[in-house]
Amino acid sequence: MSDTLVDYDEVLTRYEPVIGLETHVELGTASKMFCGCSTTFGAEPNTQTCPVCLGLPGSLPAANAAAIESTIRIGLALGCRIATWARFSRKNYFYPDIPKGFQTTQYDEPLCTAGHLDVEVDGETYRVEVERVHLEEDTGKNLHVGGSTGRIHGADHSLIDYNRAGIPLVEIVTRPIPGAGAKAPEVAKAYVTELREILVALGVSEVRMEQGNLRCDVNTSLAPIGSLEWGTRTETKNVNSLRSVERAVRFEMRRQAALLDEGQRIFQETRHFHEDTGSTSPGRSKEEATDYRYFPEPDLVPVAPDEEWVASLLAELPELPAARRTRLSDEWGISPTEMAWLVNAGAVELVSETVAAGASPGDARKWWLGDLARRANDAGTELGELAVTPQQVAELIGLISAGTINDQLARQALDGVLAGEGRPAQVVEARGLAVMGESDELVAAVEAAIEGNPDVADKVRGGKLQAIGALVGAVMKTTRGKADAATVKRMLEERLVGD
């Protein structure tokens, strides 16, 4: 079944979107939230479990100090108020992804509240209000067997791996974000991008979306322009890339507009995002929202962050991305607009690391925003997911600066690096990409070009210097791009033009 969609620009002529984001971040602690089990990704199923995270009778949880500290640091970075008294609660539900019968989370007394994050889209700043940052535990992973899609429908039974159950999970919830209009999808993406940068700067999580370290639920609603009330929202889950955050909002806006145009109402529901089609489909209905019977977790004592401790955590926060960008703009001599391009491309850290590895800021920007951005776009991935490191890009730039290769050969070298053939220098060596010096082979190619194009050569001799381009082209063709154009031009001039 495919949904009717309204053209995106048309949506905006009649409706105003309001978005909201709930972001789950798996912390990068060594051990789980309430027990000492390892959190290593990719371990064999059910090899990282114990009586506590399996909810066996008589086991008692003990809170991970590093997880609490990381949560407070995230709150501080988002300008939140840090609670002086916070508690864990039990969220009771029966679903096999949690063996205990409840998820330990924070309910009415979260660690951090009332923060904000400013994000920039096309030169305009949008303030995203953060309602709360709380700490909970992740759930196990279900594998549905028998269905063709790995989803529940048609599945015969489910298999569960509890390695992930109990890994500390921080949930960051925004307040509804009105007023973004046509930019709503981009604001949503910019928010998650900026949040991710902050988490990287804090070093609290690996934030690898493809591994599920960072997962987003995207709320979207539409209201007729001028309406005083917001519309009913849908909550799209399973949004696991930055690009998808934007796509999910855009799709929901177009889908909801079609329903509203027909006079239908939007049901508050959970929807699933499909990476392949960029569409959403209905999930479980929230009409019968479960009563989770939250109550304070009796097995864990309250957390009362000491003022001095919080003050020292605040003082020790690293330079945050926004401040860092301002400083880097100065150092690199670029405008806020140029910096915004780097941010949008997800290239700030990549360029910074490339510069740190020895490249000039100009060259680093040129490669990441140019050739590499094009490749990422063609492949439909993020820049940072390309199989090339900033150090390799710096090495490539170094080879160009040293005259070993030119830009064209560098692109071929990059092909090799991305294909897993090794570092740039190794690829240049293996593929024989180095620029030809004034070798016998190049001299022969230059002379062959002159002999093969006597008319052109005569024109150059006669003073029509611009005609030399055709001869340079001929030499480049013979040498399959490996010659340095400037060297070839000089060699041709030496032979055709007297001083």
Partner 1 sequence: MSTPSPKGQLTRDEVAHLAHLSRLAVSDEELDLFAGQLAAVLDAVAQVGKADVADVAPTTHAVPMTNVMRPDVARPSLPRDVVLAGAPAAEDGRFRVPRILGEEA
Q: Where does this chain bind partner 1 (CB under 8 A)? A: 29-31, 36-39, 44-51, 54, 56, 62-68, 85, 87, 95-97, 99, 142-146, 151-153, 155-162, 272, 283-284, 296, 298, 300-306
Choice between 237 and 365, CB closer to partner 1: 237
Q: How far is the CB of 67 from partner 1 (least distance, A)?
A: 7
Task: Tell me which residue of 69, 80, 303, 273 sits closest to 172, measured CA to CA.
Answer: 80
| Amino acid type, 314 | L
> Identity (one letter) of the amino acid at 138?
D
CA distances from residue 95 to 140, 283, 298 in whole angstroms, order as listed: 10, 15, 22
For the CB of residue 159, give the shortest distance to partner 1 in the complex, in Å: 4
Least separation, in Å, of the C-beta of 132 and partner 1?
Answer: 20
Question: Residue 23, class by beta-carbon neighbours within 10 Å (0-12 exposed, 13-18 middle, 19+ buried)?
Answer: buried
Rounded to whole angstroms, the Cα distance separating 482 from 441 reads 11
CA distance 468 to 496: 9
Q: How far is CA 147 from CA 98, 144, 193, 262, 491, in A?
A: 22, 7, 34, 34, 69
- Closer to partner 1 at the Cβ: 60 or 387? 60
Q: Could you tell me the smallest distance in angstroms from the CB atom of residue 133 to partner 1? A: 18
- Min dist CB 412 to partner 1, Å, is 45
> Which strands, in side-by-side order, build the sheet including 89-92?
102-105, 89-92, 295-296
Any residues with CB less than 8 A from the CB of 415 and at least 6 apart, and which? none
As measured in angstroms, the least distance from the Cβ of 70 to partner 1 is 9
Name the strand (E) or helix (H) holding 215.
strand 214-224
Instruction: Find the shortest distance in angstroms from Cβ 200 to partner 1.
Output: 19
Closest to partner 1 by CB, 158 vs 240, is: 158
Structure tokens at 28: 């990068």
Output 90 or 189, the one with its CB closest to partner 1: 90
Taking CA atoms, 195 is separated from 192, 384, 477, in Å, by: 5, 16, 49
Cβ closer to partner 1: 92 or 478?
92
* 89 versus 392: smaller Cβ distance to partner 1: 89
| Nearer CB in complex with partner 1: 271/365 | 271
Contact yes or no for 102/294 (Cβ under 8 A) = no
- Taking the complex as a whole, the smallest distance from the CB of residue 93 to partner 1 amounts, in Å, to 10
Q: Please say which residue, 85 or 267, places its beta carbon nearer to partner 1.
A: 85
